[in-house]
Structure 1
């Protein structure tokens, strides 16, 4: 087999399809982004492939691997069927990933492909972090556990953050904050995920663009008993909650920030709630590791909203976090925004899930017979 040096990375998100060809040094030689709904246009994928040059292998980001996939897997009909079976656990993403697999396979029918799973990074969660206190029979029958998500982003951000801070990733205690339309935190100790904010599905944890994050389960039971239809509840939790419910604007943090700057009280309150959840969960993630060496912000909001970063770190001095207001406002790309003498290095890291997917793809194909 030709070494998989040039990897086409396919990242099918909830509202976009990102394509990039990544070289072994991490350079994205060719990139494209498409706004998509449930339909992935094969013609657009084929057009990208025709203009992308050399492609040795394909790596697909897939959100949910359940118990079936503790690590990356070569794409086969059986693997595709098992990914499809997990669609109810990540309805915004799983179907789009399958559609992308089909579209790329149509354009590159003979090119080896690997599925890389966001959940796999969190398979190292200890039982105390992964287990729900629910009846044993339920946990066994429905594989109920905290899976966690954004693992590919957290893995890269933790490693890159430790490197930028001058620390060995094998021993550093890092909290990574992946803040985008979906959002989660992860406690990474020595390169290993030991806790995270998302759970069985991507709904748990932080307030997000359209998801509520943590909600009292008893409240949901009450809604069902009072006549809210199951499908309506499901749709509300995925599409009509979070920032969208608090401030409108479809949950788009850029629009909410502009509204807050203009004095919109709902937008101001929404940003306070959003950053409060981040701040308190950073402290919780630090407790899971017995301390904190590096704090990383990544993702669309994490990289580009200095106000969110400032508010999310405002009361974390007791952990050793101190952010420079000037450095925070000036941050662009990978940047250290810490005060010079801060005990914890606070960093902004550009999200590079494509690098993580490409590396996993190469390792998987190299190990295959």
Structure 2
């Protein structure tokens, strides 16, 4: 069974082709700058050196055609090696989608109805879906939602204390994101602990340019840091995270900033970028080591916010079987993990400094004896999407299969 996973952005398409018999990666790639004149196609064949070439892709339809050609030229896709399904990452599924779904006219319209909740993401996701459906009209196409993992949260976690009609009429509530990543690393942590996922209480920290945390009770999301949009929660690369909700109205009154300008600033010009002028954690750590005060302050604010959420989630769950670090920063930035875990012995968190510096492989324990487990786990959202697609295909009636 070969499953193609598509992550479609406004001007890009990331993709992976996986062989589900052994969950091996056959080909991965990125098509970027779609519709911007000369586009760029990056390919990574398993076990081979990466390739890059310039192409013409005026829209997602043409882009998917180029990706199909690349799969065929790499001989990982043919009549003898067909696709079983295409899995699409969709950012916002609203309240309707609590699990993956087969894409048809009705489900696509429901995804379209969620555009007001994710105006930057869902239209791009739909562009990839429509392009793939045009190329593969008879192939099962499945949507896997970033928000689905968090739909099991209790109402006390997802309700805001705002007028009821805001929720009833406009969908104002907490949805959460990065669900595929949190789900994947939770399962990997349960395997490492040697117990069923439903017997695990976990805290996962997905730290990248976008960042979120999840409190997981008995394998299900109990709470998460992102809210109605990915802006809520932790300090991120260019997003502010939590702030006083009166600030936008204040800036409108005293500075004349429009709602659109404030929203753009909070999403694209805030976070680490606002604090020290850049959002590349590697550069910020280098600057902090060179005693750059702005970089040091940015790191202090970044880690302080994470520690506040960590303490809250420890209290919320009561028993926590493991903490998980994942995402680009969570997996690769040892100094950040060290700052987060510093002086938390009273909470049962004791970092092994040598193990923290020597992280390698898909799962790496970084705790000292006597500590609750601290795990660095390499996330794989594409594999999680493919697994969910495979499970859904197995449930489909024989007459609906290819």
Superposed counterparts of 1:258-337, under 5 Å = 258-337=286-365
Partners in 1 of 2:98 and 2:387 — Cα distance? 16
Partners in 2 of 1:320 and 1:360 — Cα distance? 34
SS in 2 for 1:217: coil
RMSD, matched Cα? 2.0
Partners in 2 of 1:36 and 1:345 — Cα distance? 42
Give the corresponding residue for 2:5: 9
Q: Which of 176, 181, 199 in structure 2 is aligned with 1:171?
A: 199
User: How far is the alpha carbon of 1:32 from its aligned partner?
Assistant: 1.7
User: Does the aligned pair in 1 maintain the 2:239–2:266 contact within 8 Å?
Assistant: yes
Partners in 2 of 1:333 and 1:57 — Cα distance? 29
Give the corresponding residue for 1:48: 70
Q: Does 1:77 align with 2:105?
A: yes
**More moved, 202-211 vs 315-324:** 315-324
SS in 2 for 1:234: helix
Comparing both chains, which one has the higher relative contact order based on Cα–Cα distances under 8 Å and sequence gaps of 6 or more?
1
Give the corresponding residue for 1:229: 258
Structure 1, unaligned runs of 5 or more: none
Over residues 184-205 of structure 1, what are the superposed CA-to-partner deviations in whole Å (9 max), with x where a residue is unaligned?
Answer: 0001112100010011111000
User: Does the aligned pair in 2 maintain the 1:296–1:349 contact within 8 Å?
Assistant: yes
> What is the TM-score of this pair, normalised by structure 1?
0.92
User: How far is the alpha carbon of 1:104 from its aligned partner?
Assistant: 2.8
Partners in 2 of 1:68 and 1:350 — Cα distance? 30
Superposed counterparts of 1:58-207, under 5 Å = 58-207=86-235
> What is the TM-score of this pair, normalised by structure 2?
0.85
User: Does the aligned pair in 2 maintain the 1:73–1:116 contact within 8 Å?
Assistant: yes
Tell me which structure has the larger Cα radius of gyration: 2
Q: Which of 247, 268, 272 in structure 2 is aligned with 1:243?
A: 272
Structure 2, unaligned runs of 5 or more: 36-58, 398-402
Give the corresponding residue for 1:30: 27
User: How far is the alpha carbon of 1:43 from its aligned partner?
Assistant: 4.2
Change (3 A) 1:15 1:210: farther
Change (3 A) 1:259 1:109: farther
User: Does the aligned pair in 2 maintain the 1:181–1:209 contact within 8 Å?
Assistant: yes
Give the corresponding residue for 2:285: 257
User: Does the aligned pair in 2 maintain the 1:174–1:292 contact within 8 Å?
Assistant: yes
Change (3 A) 1:35 1:288: farther
Over residues 23-54 of structure 1, what are the superposed CA-to-partner deviations in whole Å (9 max), with x where a residue is unaligned?
Answer: 33322222223445786433442333323323
Partners in 2 of 1:127 and 1:158 — Cα distance? 22
Q: Which of 373, 379, 402 in structure 2 is aligned with 1:351?
A: 379
